[in-house]
Amino acid sequence: MSREYNVGVLGASGAVGREMLKSLQDRGFPVKTIKALASSRSAGSTVEFEGKEIKVEETKPDSFKGLDIALFSAGAGASAQYAPLAAQAGCVVVDNSSNWRQDPRVPLIVPEVNAGALKKHKGIIANPNCSTIQMLVALKPIYDAVGVKRIIVATYQSVSGTGQKGVEELAEQTRKLFNGQEYPPKVYPHRIAFNCLPHIDVFLDNGYTKEEMKMVNETLKIFDDPNIKVSATCVRVPVFYAHSEAIWIETGRPIKPEAAREILSRAPGVLVQDDPQANFYPLASEATGREEVFVGRIRADLSLENGLSMWVVSDNLKKGAATNAVEIAELLIREPDLLKTDWN
């Protein structure tokens, strides 16, 4: 019989954590035991896994003893605190927070793009930002074919990226506004219903937000290319699930839109939806609940000699978070050596 694994999910009561449990189940990950961890706030509540109710446990320093793999999505603070403890206990962590992404000891992995970098891990592996993942899955085949010198991206990000509380704020605010009632913003700095907020995460001294700089810095690390130029504008929009991105790239050598479409149609993890005359292009509503990265509106950038433009959509809770984390776990169990930890 093939081996099964003891798996933990930290942040199991949250939007991404629940999706991680679902992805483990739906993708048939060989789970021997499952442990659902969160804070004391939701300890004692239950989450569903493979048709059973699993009790959520409060995370303690020794919660990871006996686990082979833990998927984390409980924010940077919990990750800073618990990931080293887990790795020291022999449990490999795949962490969805931003805490470890730029740590040189920690590989930042998108399986379709840089699975090879996984070999260097010491017990903690970082899952990139949702917006970065879908952008790089779409751009990697073009990068390999003709090179990419510069990327300009504008995102249209759904409220589930803020967690369950973002989903609740948009739903409640919309309901209240339709009923002529006030709903002052709590999660976002302004009303999100019927609005677009050019503000995701905190503003930095350079005028960009932290989310925008994540897209810049994570791209350099994942492509392992310090020369690529990236500029991002990240916008929160009143959509519940799936992020959309308008992307403009300058390629190293010329490539026709037809050739790019052809390359992308064969690329792993990508589904091309590109027949604008038939109103066929990627949509957040259609991408919700799916694991692929959808690419369409592939066309020449008329303002630039080697310019290409496209529209890229993916479910931020799936490929942007849970699916990517579970795919990393699938790579880990393929090679027994990858399940070892060495974190001091």
Residues that bind ligand A2P (CB under 6 A): 11-17, 38-39, 41-42, 59, 74-75, 77-78, 163-165
Torsion angle of the four alpha carbons 52, 56, 59, 64, in this order, in degrees rounded to the nearest 10: -10
Residue among 36 and 153 whose Cβ is closer to ligand A2P: 36
Helix runs in the chain, H state only = 15-26, 75-88, 111-114, 130-146, 164-178, 210-223, 257-265, 284-287, 323-334
Closest separation in Å from C-beta 40 to ligand A2P: 7
Report how far residue 290's alpha carbon sits from residue 317's, in angstroms, rounded to the nearest whole number: 10
Give the three-state DSSP class for 1.
coil
Under DSSP, the state recorded for 312 is E
**Would residue 243 show up in a list of annotated catalytic residues for this protein?**
yes
Helix runs in 10-129, H state only = 15-26, 75-88, 111-114
Closest separation in Å from C-beta 165 to ligand A2P: 6
Residue among 15 and 146 whose Cβ is closer to ligand A2P: 15
Closest residue by beta carbon to ligand A2P: 14
Residue among 13 and 314 whose Cβ is closer to ligand A2P: 13
Closest separation in Å from C-beta 326 to ligand A2P: 17
Out of 91, 121, 234, 243, the active site residue is 243
Out of 130, 190, 196, 199, the active site residue is 130
Residue among 96 and 114 whose Cβ is closer to ligand A2P: 96
**Would residue 130 show up in a list of annotated catalytic residues for this protein?**
yes
Report how far residue 252's alpha carbon sits from residue 144's, in angstroms, rounded to the nearest whole number: 10
Closest separation in Å from C-beta 13 to ligand A2P: 4
Six-digit token pair at 120? 């260097």
Q: Which residues are tagged catalytic?
A: 130, 243
